Amino acid sequence: MNETVIDCQNMETIYSKSLKRPILNGVNCQIRRGEFVVLLGLNGAGKSTLLRSLVGLVPVIKGNIRIDGVVMNSQTLPKIRRKIGMLFQGGGLIPQLSAVENVLCGRLGIRKPWETLFGFPQKDQYLAMELLQEMGLQEHSYQKTSLLSGGQQQRVAIARALIQSPQILLADEPITGLDVMAAKQVMETLLHLTELGITVVTVLHDLGMAMEYAQRAIVIDDGCIIYDGSPDNLPVQFAQLNQAVYK
């Protein structure tokens, strides 16, 4: 369980050359297999940018990222992406498709185009139904996701990420807007995945949930990691951060 699966070395990222300075600046972090890490920070700090960099969606201009020992570059990116499931901020589901169709979309990166020409193979369909059942959503499998509650939609998004059998799950604000019970269900699902050996890195704004569920907290401020350690110290870290911003 001590193997490093995510390794960022002195990483700098930028969205466009016109920007005067990088969004992430000298990020160093090593995350091990099966760890449950929460990423916190104020709006605009760079949390989503860090997750997006880990799947190659933001150019890294300095330093490097290794996933499972492999340095990310244009050649290795397709293989690396197959190891990572991503839950985007806001869900990213296709509202007019059913839950099962959304989950099957997670297979698109794995299947060759001709394999899905006449629909997904039966094996994929069984797997999608099985995952929806695990998420407690079997009754909603054929419902359009726009008609599901926020918590149900998040669990469809988790099933969609899991259908590619990822080693790493990156979740950007998976519990924002959910009530406490729905949020706890999602957090427990994520915790369960770490028990299966999947590494989970999730952005949260809720210190209480971070302290209750995570093993490790990373706080980002203005593109830099300012804290990496036990979630128990988060209230102190945030008190200092708020003091610095709102003084």
Ligand X SMILES: Nc1ncnc2c1ncn2[C@@H]1O[C@H](COP(=O)(O)OP(=O)(O)OP(=O)(O)O)[C@@H](O)[C@H]1O
Which residue, 25 or 98, is less far from ligand X as judged by CB? 25
Q: Give yes or no for residue 47 binding ligand X (CB under 6 A).
A: yes
Contact between residue 202 and residue 39 where contact means Cβ atoms under 8 Å apart: yes
Nearer to ligand X, 51 or 148 (CB): 51
How far lies 146's CA from each of 40, 172, 187, in Å?
A: 28, 19, 22
The verdict on 49 binding ligand X (CB under 6 A) reads yes
Pick from 5, 8, 11, 23: which binds ligand X (CB under 6 A)? 23
Q: Order of strands across the sheet with 199-203?
A: 84-87, 168-172, 199-203, 36-40, 216-221, 224-229
The token duo for 150 is 């926020």
Q: Are 54 and 233 in contact (CB under 8 A)?
A: no
142 is an interface residue for ligand X by CB under 6 A: no
Q: Which does 45 bind (CB under 5 to 8 A by kind): ligand X, Mg ion, none?
A: ligand X
Nearer to Mg ion, 89 or 167 (CB): 89
Judged by beta carbon distances under 5 to 8 A according to partner kind, the member of Mg ion, ligand X, none in contact with residue 41 is: ligand X
23 interacts with, out of ligand X, Mg ion, none, CB within 5 to 8 A per kind: ligand X
Q: Which of 51, 58, 60 is nearest to 26 (CA)?
A: 60
Q: How far is the CB of 49 from Mg ion (least distance, A)?
A: 8
Kindly give the residue spans of alpha helices, DSSP state H, lying in 31-98: 47-54, 77-82
Q: Report if residue 46 touches ligand X, rule: CB under 6 A.
A: yes
Asked if 174 is part of the footprint of ligand X (rule: CB under 6 A), the reply reads: no
112: part of which helix (H) or strand (E)? none
Q: Taking the alpha carbons of 73, 10, 165, 1 in that order, is the dihedral positive or negative?
A: positive
Integer Cα distance of 90 and 99 in angstroms:
16
By beta-carbon proximity to ligand X, the closer residue of 25 and 48 is 48
- What is the contact mask toward ligand X in residues 74 to 113, using x (rule: CB under 6 A)? ---------------x------------------------
Question: What is the closest distance, in whole angstroms, from the C-beta atom of residue 234 to ligand X in the complex?
Answer: 15
Q: How far is CA 215 from the centre of its chain?
A: 16
> Does 48 interact with ligand X (rule: CB under 6 A)?
yes
Among 28, 44, 59, 192, binds ligand X (CB under 6 A): 44
Q: Does 48 bind Mg ion (CB under 5 A)?
A: yes
What are the CA-CA distances from residue 91 to residues 154, 201, 235 (Å)? 6, 16, 28
Distance CA 204, CA 218 (A): 11
Q: Which region among 26-34, 41-49, 110-118, 146-154 touches ligand X (by CB under 6 A)?
A: 41-49
Interface residue list for ligand X (CB under 6 A): 15, 23, 41, 43-49, 89
Interface residue list for Mg ion (CB under 5 A): 48, 89
